[in-house]
Structure formats: C-alpha cells, structure tokens
Structure 1
C-alpha cells in the first residue's frame, strides 16, 4: 500500500531522518523517530510522512545510479529499525478489535511495507500477527487454521511477487478469510488485485485502514484462473533460471564485465542481471492478472536504470529481441513482450 494523507508538521522530521539514512546511522534515525513521538507526532503520521517517503527516496537513488545495492540495503535496515521504534510505542495501544495477519507472499522479500501496515493497524486497536517476508502459502494456510484471524493483509512491492500473492489469496480464501491487498506491484487501480481474487485493494495506507473495517466476515474460495494461463505461468517459473542464463549469454550491454571476470559484481553487472530477471518475473504476473501494463512498466524501469548508468538506449530494444527469442516455448508471454515492450529505443 502506498501512503497518502494525513499530512502534518513532519517536514523537519523527514529531513533529519533522511540525513541519518544518508549517514548510515541507525541510532540517529531511531532517535529522530523517538523524539518526534515524544513531541506528540502521531505514530501513523511518522510512518506515512517520514519513514515511507524516505524509503521511497532510497529506491529512487538506487534506480538513478546514485547508490549501490549495498547502500540501499543498509538504509532499508535502518528504516526497519525506525519502524520497530514506532511499533514499540503502538503496542501500548489497547487491543479493542479482532486479529489481522499481515505479511508478504513467498518471494516477496520487501518486508518493510508490510511492517508499516501491521504497525498502522495496531494504532487502530487491531491485534496484529506479523509473518514477515516470503511466507509460503502452505505455511500461511497452517497459520490461518491455528489463529482464525478476521482478515489477512498482503503487501506486494515488486511485480515478481504477484504469482505467490495469488497462492496466498487462495490459501486465505480457502479458509474463508478475506484478503486486503496493497503495495506498488498492484499498480494504480484495482485490476490486478481483483484478477488475483483479493477481497479488497488499498491504494493508500490510510484507505487500507478504513477498508479493513468493511471486510466481510467470511468469503468464498477464489475462482480458478484460466488453465492455459496458469500452465504457462508455472512453466515460466520452473524454467526461470534457464531463461535468465539464455538471455544473459546473448544480451551484453556496453560496459558489462566479461563473463570470466571473478570480480564481476560491479553495479552494472548486477543491474544487467536484474534487467533480465525482473521482466521474466513480471511476465508471470502479467499472465495471471491479464494486465499487459506490467510489461510496459518493467520496460520503462529497465530503460531508466540503464540510462542512469550511461548504457545506450539501443540496449533496451536488444533486450526485447532476446526475450522474444528465448520465449519460443511460451506463446502467451512472447506475445506480451511483442505487444507491450517498445520496439524502438526510448528517447
């Protein structure tokens, strides 16, 4: 779920928090949050107006080539510590409502957004069980059988997590439990969440907090997805490593380290790998949701990260060609690339 209103007087707090992130100083970042809470800033406003926008800026710095992956991970760890500082305070709020299980589906490792959601629900009096990142659907189903919560909230930040989100939704609704879905992977509207069978979709965190109150007590299991679509998605998933290696053998953007370079872990090398991995994962999400915009979005993302690292625009078109060639056994996915990935170099 993204964050929207409320706005308050957190501008100075955000500046101080971002400075702590830039410095890699966990103690300072937690101190900024603790001081803001001591000064009367609402926990929800600190989550929505300080921690979340700062985290969004972290991702943008990596995309723009200003930060390495290591810097991004360090800053994210600091944001997790700051969110835990807020969580410690809101645990003092009396639990007056039912229980919500909050987590990320399998292969979704971005736990911060889900932690923010769980902490925010606690401010509203909900009992919250936070499962963290990458929870397999089978384990989720077991938890739900044991705890019988009122709702499940699933956070999905990257499109590659959409297939496992579908499995989480299947697990929850099979147990009769409604699912609130949110996160950047769902895009600007409810189409993807609806296609995957979520009971409700939250475009922003404050809206999500309201929607939880409106969820039905029980739901029916989700309808099965089309057999051809599911079959091809599962094939892509099982064949993912081979497809990545196949594309990597032929797609060589300028500046990439040689394959025999034992220290070929430069930023560009890692980014190039991501630029193969992410489209192939996105295709699985696009198949299950029927939303071809996912392919256009990942093409734009690929162009942006390569441009920030001075890779010629033609590399994006070349990657399209290699993806089309590699997907010969997957006609639905191949057609999505042909139809949705630009065939000319971005301006």
Structure 2
C-alpha cells in the first residue's frame, strides 16, 4: 500500500524526490539540503527520506550516467551532494527525536563497512543511518575497509554483528575473505549490495550468515536476531572447491599481460583502434582491464552469468555513447586465444562472445553507479 502511495505524483515524497533530483543535477548542495531539512521539519519521516527519496535519486544518477544523459563529473557531484544530504538528515532535530532505544551491550552494536576495494559507500552509509535511527549503536567504517583493519576493530569493540556492503561483483573475492575472517572471530555477517546478486545468490555461495536486498530488510533481519546467531565457521575453499583448478589465481596474476595482449590484438582485429589517440587508448586499456576483472570474478564464483551480464551492461553503455557493442568481440577473441588452456575461462568467453552478437539489454545488473 505504501508503495502505491509513493508512486502517486502528488505525494509529498514524490515531490521531494523530484526537487532533490533537480538540485543534485544542478550541483546545488544548499538547495538539496534545504529541501530535505524543510521536509523533515514539516513532518516527513527521516527513515523514509533516506530510503524513499535519497536512495532512489542516487539510483537515478547511475541510470542517467549509463544512458549518457549526464557526465561523469555530474555523476560525481550528485553523489557527493547526496552524501552530504544524508549527513544533514542524520544530524537533524527530526532524526534525533525519533531515535529509539535499541539492544544494549555488545550484542546491540553493529559494524557497517564496505569491503576492501569498494568505493561505493553511500548504500552502506544509508544503512548505518537507518540502524542508528532504530536505536542500534553503529560503527560506520566507510569505504574500502581492509579486512585486517576490520578484524582489529571487531576484536577491540566486540560488535555483535557485521554488515558488509559491495556494489561491484569484482569485489566478491575480497568480500569472501572478509566474511570468513569475521566469522572466525565469532561475529555473524550480514551482506548486501548489488555485488551479491539481485537474489543474494553470491551471499549464499560465499557463506554469509544473512543477506538483505535493502536497508529496511537488513534492519529487520538484525531486529529478528540475525546478529545473535552463531556464525558459520568455514574456509573459502570449502565454499568454492572449483578454485582448486587455479584458473582464477592465474588470471589475476596475468592481468597486466592479458591487457597488453588484448590491446596489441585490437590493432589487427579492430582497424579503427590503430587511429586511437593516447587518451582513447588509455580508456580502452581501462575497459579491457574491467573485462579481465569481471572474467576473474566469474571464475571465482564459477558463474558465467556474472561475466555475460557485465558484458551485456557494457554493451549498453557503449551503444549509448555511439560505439557499436560488437566492438567487444575482438577483445573477447584475443582473450580466448590467450586463455585457451583454461577450460572454464574458455567456456565463459565463448558464451559471452555469442551473446555479444545480440543487441544489449538496458539494465544495470551490478549497480555500478548506484
């Protein structure tokens, strides 16, 4: 029922979302903050503002960037403004007034962090604020937290649960290491973010104690006792026996050489590449590195859909920018030749090459810019 109300164009939160979007698109931090604080003063619920206004606006930022309707600079500015708006909500009188008394002691304390290498911190920040509003004592550690630092923090604080966030599937190996390390300290781990799949498949694969599709679900799981259960104790190889073939490790170690080989091969297989400027070649090298990274993540999880989904999304990005998605094929062909002795990698690449010949679908399976 509430979802239907929020979709009504004349609902206050709908108007607030529209106003916030206009402000962040213009890079107007003061207007953005003022709109949200005025809404809170007029009775808007702080948690609803976080989850039904700021989060959807940030999601739209990613969609508009992918469609090439806003620039990278606008995307970064919008994200920075949304982060500051979240801070304004957190410190507002309205938020302070509704914070409830939650569980006391270490069991009521939650550590919220992004896995090592994950820079998309806004989803974790919003979760931390929602949990704080609901009375939890929260240690928010921010973006790209090295696992060793996270474990040291748990030993020092004795937190009752850890909530880990990851948006990019390339962070799954780091997430796996963090999950198992936290559980080894006796701390259960709840995970969330687009990296774990829309259905949480990678959370289950990597042995997390719980998965939540959004901040409301995460708060509900913790309230129901997800943070008080005895965590599963295991080793990464127990979850992923296919890693014994060493394909993932060897691809990661060969990343630099693979990127160089693809760039060299493009000159022969994709003639326009010969006339690229230095800047275009640098950008192409970055794109090829992303392809190798996502192939490695697919090998880690043994899930070809992770790789093909990324390439499908990348094809849509290229198409929006006037670059034929078929330009991905030469890179896949060269990678296939370089990795011809790797059976799983070869299967992933052949499947991806076949799908790359079809028009890309307009979706963002990894929430790269949400």
With the length of structure 1 as denominator, give the TM-score of the two structures. Answer: 0.89
CA displacement at 1:54 relative to structure 2: 0.9
Distance 1:33 1:325, change over 3 A: farther
Match runs of 1:36-115 below 5 Å: 36-89=39-92, 90=95, 93-97=99-103, 98-115=108-125
Q: Deviations over 1:95-128 (max 9, x none)?
A: 4221110011111110111101111111111111
**Residues 312, 356 of structure 2: 8 Å contact kept:** no
Distance 1:257 1:111, change over 3 A: farther
Residues 1:142 and 2:121 are matched in the alignment: no
CA displacement at 1:79 relative to structure 2: 0.9
Residues 1:246 and 2:261 are matched in the alignment: yes
Distance 1:310 1:212, change over 3 A: same
CA-based RMSD:
2.5
- 2: CA distance, partners of 1:322 / 1:235: 17
CA displacement at 1:64 relative to structure 2: 1.1
- 2: CA distance, partners of 1:119 / 1:280: 35
Q: Deviations over 1:207-239 (max 9, x none)?
A: 111111231433132343245516332333333
- Residue of 179, 182, 192 corresponding to 1:169: 179
Distance 1:5 1:83, change over 3 A: farther
- 1: CA distance, partners of 2:334 / 2:70: 28
Task: Tell me the secondary structure at the aligned position of residue 283 of structure 1.
Answer: helix
Task: Tell me the secondary structure at the aligned position of residue 135 of structure 2.
Answer: coil
Q: Deviations over 1:219-266 (max 9, x none)?
A: 1323432455163323333332332333233336787695663xx16x
Distance 1:311 1:123, change over 3 A: same
Alignment size in residue pairs: 339
CA displacement at 1:74 relative to structure 2: 1.2
Moved more, 313-322 or 201-210: 313-322
With the length of structure 2 as denominator, give the TM-score of the two structures. Answer: 0.84
- 2: CA distance, partners of 1:312 / 1:198: 39
Unmatched 5+ residue regions in structure 1?
A: none
- 2: CA distance, partners of 1:326 / 1:6: 54
CA displacement at 1:276 relative to structure 2: 2.0
Counterpart in the other structure of 1:232: 247
Residues 1:119 and 2:134 are matched in the alignment: no
Residues 1:323 and 2:335 are matched in the alignment: yes
- 1: CA distance, partners of 2:274 / 2:60: 28
Task: Tell me the secondary structure at the aligned position of residue 173 of structure 1.
Answer: helix
Q: Deviations over 1:254-309 (max 9, x none)?
A: 87695663xx16xx964x44532333222232233333211121011111011011
Counterpart in the other structure of 2:13: 10
Counterpart in the other structure of 2:194: 184
**Residues 14, 50 of structure 1: 8 Å contact kept:** yes
Distance 1:30 1:186, change over 3 A: same
- 1: CA distance, partners of 2:264 / 2:84: 40
Distance 1:38 1:327, change over 3 A: farther
- Residue of 137, 142, 153 corresponding to 1:132: 142
Task: Tell me the secondary structure at the aligned position of residue 169 of structure 1.
Answer: helix
Distance 1:241 1:69, change over 3 A: farther
Distance 1:227 1:46, change over 3 A: same
Counterpart in the other structure of 2:306: 294
**Residues 112, 164 of structure 2: 8 Å contact kept:** yes
**Residues 189, 231 of structure 2: 8 Å contact kept:** no
Moved more, 20-29 or 309-318: 309-318
Which is higher, the Rg of structure 1 or of structure 2?
A: 2
